[in-house]
Chain A
C-alpha cells in the first residue's frame, strides 16, 4: 500500500514512529511537509505543481502524484506553520496584512491538496470535522453525548460575571481557542488556566473585553485519554503533593506529576467514543478531571494532541493498535 503523510514538519513524535512502523510492515510511505513546500531555497525544499485535478511533487529523481496514493494521513498539517517553522520574524518587517495574507496562502495550498484527495476518494486518516476546533462547541457536544462538563460563561458584562462567580465556589479563565506563547524581546509569556481572584473583579469596568470563564472543579486528578482509531486508553496525571491545581502544565514544569495507566469505566468510554465519532476523529487526546465529587468532567479534545509521550505509560502498544484498528479493511 502507498501511504502519504502530510504534516507541518518532521519531528520525533507519533507520526514519525508510526511512519517507521508502516515501512516495517511493508508499505511505501512518503512524508511531505509544509516545510518541503514553502521553505523556498531550503535544501529539502520540494518543487510541486498543483493544477485543477492533480497535485504532483518532485523529490530527488522521483515524481509523485497525489492520485497514486491509497491512503493519506494528515497529522499537524498547518500546525502554526508560519509562526513556528517559516520564522515569523521574517515577516515583521512588512505590514501585518502581509503576514495574514501569507497564512491564507499556506492554508489554501494545504486545503486544496486535501480537497483533491477527497474528490479522488482517497481515504484521509483523521479527516475530522473542523467544528472540533471550537472548544465551546466541544463542551456543548460533550453534554449532548451525556458527559459532564464544567459550566461556562462567555461574557463582557461585570454583572453577569459577578452572578456566575456567586453561583460557583471557584471561577477560572483560560483561552477559549489555542493560544501559544508571546515572544517579546527576551521574555516569553504564556496564558494558563487561572483562578479568577474575587478582588480582581474590582479591576474591571462594567463592560470589559469578552472573556471565557468556567466553573473551577475541585479535582483529585486529571486524565489524559488517547483515542486511537476507536479505542480509548487513559493515563492518570496525579499531582504528587496534594493541592488545588488550576493548570496541570505548571505542575509538569515543577516536576510534580506522576503518570500511571488508568482504566476508564465502560459507560464513559462509550460516550467519549460517540463524541469522537461525531467529530470524525481517528486519533486525538481528550482531557478529563476526576472531580472530588466522584464525577468525570470533560475539559477538551485536542485533535492534534500529543500521543507518543502518553503512550509510553500504557501497556498496550499504541502503534499496533492504531495499525490494527485503522488499517483493517483498508489494506
Chain B
C-alpha cells in the first residue's frame, strides 16, 4: 500500500489512495466466488419453480446481516 501513498504524495494519484485498505477475501461477501447460472436461464422453460415462487411470494419478515430470514 505504501506505493499508493507515495503516488499521492508525488502527485500521481488522487488523495483517496492515502486511505486504501486491505480487504479480507474470506469476510467480504463481494469477493467470494459468486454462484452464477450463466446462460442456462436463456430459455425460460429452464427456470426453476424455486425462482418464480420467491418472486411471487409476498415479502415478509426481516433479515439479519447474515442474510438469513428470521
Q: Which chain B residue has the least Cβ–Cβ distance from A84?
A: B34
Tell me which residues from 42 to 64 in chain B have a Cβ below 8 Å from any Cβ of chain A: 42-44, 47-48, 51-52, 54-63
Would you give the shortest CB distance from B62 to chain A, in whole angstroms?
6
25 contacts between A and B (CB under 8 A): A11-B34, A19-B41, A21-B55, A24-B56, A30-B42, A42-B38, A44-B38, A46-B42, A60-B43, A173-B14, A173-B15, A191-B16, A194-B18, A194-B19, A203-B9, A203-B18, A204-B15, A208-B8, A209-B11, A209-B15, A253-B28, A260-B62, A312-B63, A313-B62, A319-B56
Which single member of A10, A190, A192, A316 contacts B40 (CB below 8 Å)? A10
Q: Does chain B have a CB within 8 A of A28?
A: yes
B52 touches A23 (CB 8 A): yes
How long is the Cα–Cα vector from A24 to B1 in the complex, in angstroms? Answer: 51
B8 touches A204 (CB 8 A): yes
B34 touches A44 (CB 8 A): no
Which single member of B18, B47, B63, B66 contacts A313 (CB below 8 Å)? B63
Q: Does chain B have a CB within 8 A of A196?
A: yes
Q: Is the interface of A mostly helix, strand, loop or mixed?
A: mixed
B57: which A residues are within 8 A, CB to CB?
Answer: 317
Of the listed stretches A118-126, A181-189, A272-280, chain B binds A181-189
How long is the Cα–Cα vector from A23 to B44 in the complex, in angstroms? Answer: 7
B15 touches A196 (CB 8 A): yes
Which single member of A28, A212, A312 contacts B16 (CB below 8 Å)? A212
How long is the Cα–Cα vector from A54 to B47 in the complex, in angstroms? Answer: 28
How long is the Cα–Cα vector from A190 to B39 in the complex, in angstroms? Answer: 30
Would you give the shortest CB distance from A253 to chain B, in whole angstroms?
6
Q: Which chain A residue has the least Cβ–Cβ distance from B45?
A: A23
Q: Does chain B have a CB within 8 A of A32?
A: yes
How long is the Cα–Cα vector from A16 to B18 in the complex, in angstroms? Answer: 39
Question: With A10-B38, A211-B15 given, is the CB distance from A190 to B23 under 8 Å?
Answer: yes
B41 touches A16 (CB 8 A): yes
How long is the Cα–Cα vector from A194 to B16 in the complex, in angstroms? Answer: 7
**Other than the known A16-B41, A20-B48, what 10 A-B pairs have Cβ atoms closer than 8 Å?**
A16-B51, A17-B55, A21-B52, A30-B42, A46-B39, A60-B43, A175-B14, A189-B21, A203-B8, A208-B15
